[in-house]
C-alpha cells in the first residue's frame, strides 16, 4: 500500500446538512448544529474512538493498515502501523487494517483486525505488541472481525463478516467458517457463537440498559439494522428488523454500518450518505447528511460531540443529546 498524506484542515470546514423528519429530533440536534470536516485524504476511515482521559480521537484507515490520531489543535498523526495485518507476505485483499476499536475497563485498546483475522488487545504501542483475544471458533479461523462493544460485566461482543478477506464475499475461498457470526467473548475467555443467521453482521451497540443489542446487517439488497433481546445469561433472543436501510441504499452510496446510542436510547446509525437518527421505537427522526459512504461514529469530548467517519474523511458535530456512558 502506498503511504498517504492526509489533509488536516486545522480550521474545520462546514459540510453536509441536517434533515428533520420528526419534531423529536429538535431536542437532540440543535437548530444551529453544523457538520465539520476535520481531516480528509484517507482510503477508508472506520472505527472512531475517543480517548476521554487524554482527549484525542483514534480511527482506523482500513485499507492502509494504520490507526490515526486526531488531537484538537494538533491535527493528524499516525498512532499505530501496521494496525491489522502483520504478515510477512503482501496482503492479498483490499482491507488489511484494523476496523472497530474500543477500550477495555483498564483503558487498553482492543482492535478488530481484518488481516490477522482476530480480536486483539494492544499491550505495547511502541513495539506493536498485542495479545490475541479471539481468532478461532470451533478450531476454524474467524473471517475478519469488524466491530465490537463491551457489556458492563466485561463480556465483549463482536461481529465477524467477510470484508477483510481477499474477495470480501461470503463464499471467499479463504473463509473457513460456513457462516458470518456474532460472538461473545466472556470475561473468562470463553468464546460463544450468539447467532449465525446474519449474512454480513457489521456495527454493534447496546441500548443504555443493555437489554437490547443492535446489529447492522450490511448485506447488499437487504441492508438493515437488527435488534435482539439480551437474555440474562447474555445470549440473544427475538431477533427482528429495527430499521431498513435498503430503501436508501438503492439510490445512495453506502449501507447499514456502525451504530451508537445516546443516553435516552435513541439510535445513531451510519447509513448510505448519512447518519440516521432513530427513536427507540424505530421511528426515523432525522439524518446528518455527509453525502458520502458513512462507516461509523463515536461519542466524544464532553459527550455531546459525535465524531463520524465517512469514506476518506472524519467529521464532528455538536449535539444536545448525551452519548451513552456520559453523564451517568
Residue 280 located in a structural domain: yes
Q: Is 46 annotated as a binding residue?
A: yes
The answer to whether residue 194 scores a pLDDT higher than 90 is yes
Q: Is 197 annotated as a binding residue?
A: no
For 93-150, the DSSP string reads SS--SEEEEEE-TTS-EEEEETTTTEEEEEEETTTTEEEEEE-EETTEE-S----EEE
Residue 272 located in a structural domain: yes
- 70 forms beta bridges with 57, 76
User: Whole domain around residue 298: which residue ranges?
Assistant: 7-318
- Taking residues 162-189, report their average pLDDT: 95
- Distance, in Å, from the CA atom of 195 to the CA atom of 305, rounded to the nearest integer, reads 33
Total structural domains within the chain: 1
Record the cell numbers describing residue 233, joined without a space.
445469561
Residue 211 located in a structural domain: yes
Closest to 92 measured CA to CA, from 160, 143, 167? 167
Residue 251 located in a structural domain: yes
Residue 2 located in a structural domain: no
Residue 213 located in a structural domain: yes
pLDDT tens column, 260-317: 999 999 999 999 999 999 999 999 999 999 999 999 999 999 999 999 999 999 999 9
Residue 327 located in a structural domain: no
- Taking residues 194-208, report their average pLDDT: 97
Q: Is 139 annotated as a binding residue?
A: no
The answer to whether residue 151 scores a pLDDT higher than 70 is yes
Q: Which residues are catalytic?
A: 257
The domain that holds 278 is classified in CATH as 2.120.10.30
pLDDT tens column, 100-137: 999 999 999 999 999 999 999 999 999 999 999 999 99
Q: Is 99 annotated as a binding residue?
A: no
Residue 82 located in a structural domain: yes
Amino acid at each position: 500500500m502506498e503511504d498517504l498524506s492526509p489533509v488536516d484542515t486545522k480550521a474545520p470546514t462546514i459540510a453536509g446538512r441536517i434533515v428533520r423528519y420528526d419534531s423529536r429530533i429538535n431536542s437532540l440536534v440543535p437548530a444551529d448544529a453544523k457538520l465539520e470536516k476535520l481531516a480528509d485524504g484517507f482510503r477508508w476511515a472506520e472505527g472512531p474512538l475517543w480517548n476521554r482521559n487524554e482527549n484525542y480521537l483514534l480511527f482506523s484507515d482500513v485499507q492502509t493498515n494504520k490507526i490515526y490520531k486526531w488531537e484538537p489543535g494538533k491535527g493528524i498523526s499516525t498512532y499505530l502501523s501496521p494496525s491489522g495485518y502483520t504478515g510477512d507476505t503482501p496482503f492479498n485483499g483490499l482491507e488489511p487494517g484494523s476496523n472497530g476499536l474500543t477500550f477495555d475497563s483498564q483503558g487498553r485498546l482492543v482492535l478488530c483486525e481484518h488481516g490477522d483475522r482476530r480480536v486483539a488487545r494492544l499491550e505495547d504501542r511502541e513495539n506493536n505488541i498485542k495479545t490475541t483475544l479471539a481468532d478461532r471458533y470451533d478450531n476454524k479461523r474467524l473471517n475478519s472481525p469488524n466491530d465490537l462493544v463491551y457489556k458492563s460485566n466485561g463480556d465483549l461482543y463482536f461481529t465477524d463478516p467477510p470484508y477483510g478477506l481477499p474477495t470480501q464475499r461470503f463464499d471467499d475461498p479463504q473463509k473457513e467458517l460456513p457462516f458470518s457470526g456474532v460472538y461473545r467473548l466472556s470475561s473468562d475467555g470463553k468464546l460463544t457463537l450468539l447467532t449465525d443467521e446474519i449474512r454480513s453482521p457489521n456495527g454493534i451497540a447496546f441500548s443504555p440498559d443493555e437489554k437490547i443489542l443492535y446489529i447492522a446487517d450490511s448485506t447488499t439488497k437487504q441492508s438493515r439494522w437488527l435488534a435482539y433481546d439480551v437474555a440474562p445469561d447474555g445470549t440473544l433472543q427475538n431477533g427482528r428488523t429495527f430499521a431498513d436501510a435498503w430503501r436508501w441504499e438503492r439510490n445512495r452510496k453506502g449501507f447499514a454500518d456502525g451504530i451508537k446510542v445516546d443516553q435516552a436510547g435513541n439510535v445513531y446509525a451510519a447509513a448510505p450518505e448519512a447518519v440516521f437518527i432513530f427513536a427507540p421505537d424505530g421511528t426515523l427522526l432525522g439524518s446528518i447528511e455527509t453525502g458520502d459512504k458513512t462507516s461509523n461514529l463515536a461519542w466524544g469530548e464532553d459527550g455531546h460531540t459525535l465524531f463520524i467517519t465517512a469514506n476518506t474523511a472524519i467529521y464532528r458535530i455538536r449535539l444536545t443529546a448525551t452519548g451513552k456512558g456520559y453523564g451517568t
